[in-house]
Amino acid sequence: MLLAGCAPCQPFSKQRRHDAQGKHGDAALLGQFARLVRELNPKVVLMENVPRISVVPGFSSLRRFLKALRDCGYEFDYHVLNARYFGVPQHRRRYVLLAVRGKQASLPDPDARLIAVTVREAIERFPALEAGESDAAIPNHCAANLSARNLKRIRATPVNGGSRRDWPEELVLDCHKAIQGFSDVYGRMWWDRVAPTLTSRCTSLSNG
């Protein structure tokens, strides 16, 4: 049996500006993953998270998780792997751990290089949609029902790396006039490059 899981990565993510050292309550969920390992006793355990999980100071959630694996008789291997080299069409560096009960575990070489998939190669085949439309034949292929003003903002964002910084003054939100924030907000991906890391809010217009 394989037990695969990813406790919420937000507590360890570099995107979190406060509470960035694993003090967030969700960090304790990695301990719940360890509890499931003890109770289910699977042959193989697979865990992935953001790279920062391995640099949280002190006796971190990760160190406690590794100790639990050792105590249960698992051997493990871990690396920071970039999913772009393993068929995922986005730049996504993740800490990946593979544990096998009673047997040496081995992950792919972190320097492995497969052919990366570009944005064009990943999504060009899907039919274009108008705002608010969806395709009944293709799961999850739908377009947000955006307002006319937000459609103007999209059209004013240049392809291949454009963002809200390229808008004319009349389209800029008041909040962005006062605070600069992240540069990729309302951004467009490069058509012939691998996509950036997609977050849990990637379907929101403002998240780019």
List, for residues 113-164, the tens digit of each pLDDT value. Answer: 677 889 999 999 999 999 999 999 999 999 989 999 999 998 999 999 898 8
Residue range(s) defining the domain that contains residue 34? 2-101
What does the chain come to in residues?
Answer: 208
Give a yes or no: residue 94 inside a domain.
Answer: yes
Give a yes or no: residue 109 inside a domain.
Answer: no
Q: Which residues of 177-188 are buried (b: 16+ CB within 10 A; e: fewer)?
A: eeeeeeeebbbb
Q: Where are the alpha helices (DSSP H) in 76-180?
A: 119-123, 148-155, 174-178
Asked if 166 and 207 sit in the same domain, the reply is: yes
Asked if 80 and 125 sit in the same domain, the reply is: no
According to the model, what pLDDT value does residue 184 have? 66
Count of structural domains, the chain: 2
Read off the pLDDT band of 100 (50, 70, 90).
very high
Asked if 82 and 35 sit in the same domain, the reply is: yes
According to the model, what pLDDT value does residue 76 have? 96
Asked if 73 and 32 sit in the same domain, the reply is: yes
CB distance 98 to 107 below 8 Å: yes
Q: Say how far apart CA 203 and CA 51 lie, in whole Å.
A: 23
Amino acid at 38: R
Q: What is the pTM of this model?
A: 0.71
Asked if 77 and 124 sit in the same domain, the reply is: no
For the segment 99-126, the average pLDDT, to the nearest whole number, is: 88
Of 48, 71, 101, at which residue does a domain stop? 101
Catalytic residues: 9
**In the predicted structure, residue 103 carries a pLDDT above the cut 50:** yes
Give the model confidence (pLDDT) of 72-92 as tens digits: 999 999 999 998 888 888 999
Asked if 88 and 20 sit in the same domain, the reply is: yes
For the segment 88-116, the average pLDDT, to the nearest whole number, is: 87
